[in-house]
């Protein structure tokens, strides 16, 4: 992504939606042919507005760094779901979306018609809140034990063994892994690795810790293990990324609450 790219405006959803939706984001008048994304375990639903028409797409979680093609001149309005929570809004298994982009027509349950008529920072985010809250009144979300497991993996930064989190689910390991894949779109082991990678990215971007110390802090066997796994997800080794901080800044744009927060 070039430094001339228009800013991405980001807003938190209404309080009742925050356990399920990480944030909304909006980018006007896109001038890039593609945008780099790195694995984070999340699903996005994106409304692409070009002229007076709009298309809705579901972007599954990814397992490697990817370049997503964009339409020049279009506006992009996105909903970033928390891991495992897109199931309350999408009539599709999350595992079917992994490393893929699908039209969300007939799959995304909330009615987002009319968004193309009022694309602006304030009105678009308010419209999304209203749409999501109406959907929740019709179909209230149901908490499941797998949600506790997902949250535990996140809060421990992916450092637990699969056998440990499987015990939390109180079912057989095979059943746990099958349910986790359906809900998150990743195996529990891969999800934990991605969460740990995200923690490593944050430390690279926001601290001056040596690479060996970062590796130790987040539970990698050694610096070599850290470098190998980081390059697997990011496409570059951490030493290269730290030398070019813009790479990390670009990667964090859709996961950090920068820009507008109204």
Tens-digit pLDDT profile for residues 11-41: 999 999 999 999 999 998 888 898 888 899 9
Could you tell me the pLDDT band of residue 187, with boundaries at 50, 70 and 90?
very high
- Kindly give, in sequence order, each residue whose CB lies less than 8 Å from that of residue 208, ignoring residues fewer than 6 positions away: none
pLDDT at 52: 62
pLDDT digits over 173-183, tens only?
Answer: 899 999 999 99
State the CB neighbour count (10 A cutoff) for residue 4: 7
Per-residue model confidence (pLDDT) at position 244: 60
At the fourth CATH level, which superfamily is domain 145-252?
A: Homeodomain-like (1.10.10.60)
Structure-model confidence comparison of residues 93 and 51, the more confident one: 93
**Stretch 83-94: mean pLDDT:** 95
Q: Is the pLDDT of residue 249 over 50?
A: no
pTM across the whole model: 0.88
Q: Which two tokens stand for residue 138?
A: 């019709």
> Side-chain half-sphere of 149: how many Cα atoms within 13 Å?
28
Is residue 248's pLDDT more than 70?
no
Query: Can you name the residues that pair with 130 across neighbouring β-strands?
Result: none
Residue found under tokens 């609450």: 257
Residue 252 has pLDDT above 60, yes or no: no
Write out the residue limits of the CATH 1.10.10.60 domain(s) in the chain. Answer: 145-252
């Amino acid at each position: 992504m070039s430094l001339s790219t228009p800013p991405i405006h980001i807003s938190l959803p209404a309080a009742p939606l925050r356990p399920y939706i990480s944030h909304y984001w909006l980018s006007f008048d896109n001038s890039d042919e593609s945008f780099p994304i790195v694995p984070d375990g999340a699903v996005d639903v994106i409304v692409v507005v070009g002229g007076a028409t709009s298309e809705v797409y579901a972007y599954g979680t990814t397992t490697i760094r990817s370049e997503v093609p964009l339409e020049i001149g279009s506006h992009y309005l996105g909903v970033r779901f928390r891991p495992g929570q897109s199931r309350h809004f999408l009539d599709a298994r999350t595992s079917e979306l992994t490393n893929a982009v699908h039209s969300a027509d007939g799959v995304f349950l909330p009615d987002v018609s009319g968004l193309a008529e009022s694309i602006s920072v304030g009105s678009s985010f308010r419209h999304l809140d209203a749409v999501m809250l109406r959907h929740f009144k019709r179909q209230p979300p149901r908490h499941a034990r797998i949600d506790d497991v997902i949250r535990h993996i996140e809060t421990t930064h992916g450092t637990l063994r699969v056998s440990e989190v499987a015990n939390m689910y109180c079912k057989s390991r095979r059943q746990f892994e099958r349910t986790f894949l359906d809900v998150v779109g990743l195996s529990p082991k891969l999800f934990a690795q991605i969460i740990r990678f995200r923690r490593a990215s944050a430390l690279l971007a926001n601290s001056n810790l040596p690479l060996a110390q970062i590796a130790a802090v987040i539970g990698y066997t050694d610096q070599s293990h850290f470098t190998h796994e980081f390059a697997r997800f990011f496409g570059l080794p951490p030493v290269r990324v730290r030398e070019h901080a813009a790479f990390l800044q670009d990667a964090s744009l859709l996961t950090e609450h920068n820009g507008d927060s109204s």
